[in-house]
Chain A
């Protein structure tokens, strides 16, 4: 026995060193793969919530009226928080995959690409079957900070100078005038005499709507069209199903 092998064996005896049990490595591998799958799932959820934010909670028909026109408006409504979370999850998936048994053999770019593609496929399915909507509602209900943040973000739609006035109807004055509160709590008299209203939509007090038109004077707005907000769209969709 060489001097070194003797030293090594002596040290093993002296410190009662034993090979770590196989189950420990198996659990480690399983945990790694589960975390990898979880990061892909969270990435997919981020994609679905991002798509929900982009295509359900936003109105693309009036995006050009936001500050900065179409490009500025698009940049304003991008779901940055979900893009950031997707990025973090792809990064996490990449690092976790690298530590799997043969993960290092695959090019990092391929791993990142595959993670993004899987996240988009699964995320699109979650968006299509309205899982994203459930998640969004759940988070708004259970996480006040999330709801406040989203409401803050939704204020980008408050752009009366650009002709976009979202708010809540507080009274209906005949067929040509409504009074509404905007997102900042200010009152507006909105002339709807020449406004286009979607066929199924009947305006009622407490409805959340977007009036599109122009400011006529202080607290006065002339609407060219009235659009339902997401909340109202949901109600219309449900009543239509009945």
Chain B
């Protein structure tokens, strides 16, 4: 039976092998999250991720096992990534590189939430979608990525970005609205 992330985190305090397993479980997810948020080149994103795991290891004793380890790991990743973005001052003009799955997910947002005709959407290229996301402030890009691409619910996003669930809902609503506005401007 697969041991839970939370138990593995507790075991990591005494056993580095357990921590290595934890790294393996989360490295792909967290790397993708960093890239979705920053669009930094792979090697740079990996540097951030390595720093994230070191922070996770250092702070293992502050992890509350009543919470999801996943949310806690995402929170540390979120904070570290935001700090890196601030450091390199690229928070507004980062070229966001999304993969095919991302593009489909984001196109679905447009379909379901903005009442834009499917045929129109199909004409849009992935580059345009990237361009729209690229124009969004990081706080909106973050909630869109977490909700639609990382498939996190409101409570998890609240735990990750440390904001009340109501604020998460508001941010998400505004993010979609801004996404829609930018999209409409772009197709004109």
Mark A residues whose CB is within 8 Å of B: 1-2, 4-9, 11-12, 17-22, 24-25, 98, 101, 104-108
Contacts and interface: CB of A to CB of B under 8 A. Distances in A.
Given A19-B58, A21-B61, A9 B164 contact: no
B76 to A, nearest CB: 13
A102 B56 CA distance: 19
A17 B57 contact: yes
A17 to B, nearest CB: 6
Interface of B: 13, 16, 19-21, 23-24, 27, 46, 49-50, 53-54, 57-62, 64, 158, 162-167
B110 to A, nearest CB: 31
A194 to B, nearest CB: 65
A25 B61 contact: yes
Mostly, the B contact residues are: helix
Which are the 10 A-B pairs with shortest beta-carbon distances?
A5-B23, A104-B162, A22-B61, A19-B60, A5-B20, A25-B62, A8-B53, A4-B27, A2-B24, A5-B24
B163 A104 contact: yes
B23 A11 contact: no
A22 B63 CA distance: 10
Nearest to B16: A9
Given A8-B23, A9-B20, A20 B62 contact: yes
29 contacts: A4-B49, A5-B21, A5-B23, A6-B20, A8-B19, A8-B23, A8-B50, A8-B53, A8-B54, A8-B57, A9-B19, A9-B23, A11-B54, A12-B19, A12-B54, A12-B57, A17-B54, A19-B60, A20-B58, A20-B59, A20-B61, A21-B61, A22-B61, A104-B162, A104-B164, A105-B158, A105-B165, A107-B166, A107-B167
Contacts of A107: 164, 166-167
A106 B46 CA distance: 34
Given A2-B27, A104-B162, A105-B158, 14 more contacts: A1-B20, A2-B24, A5-B20, A5-B23, A8-B50, A9-B16, A9-B20, A9-B23, A19-B58, A20-B58, A20-B59, A25-B61, A105-B165, A107-B166
Contacts of B58: 17-20
Given A4-B27, A8-B53, A104 B61 contact: no
Given A1-B20, A5-B20, A19 B13 contact: yes
Contacts of B163: 104
A108 B163 CA distance: 9
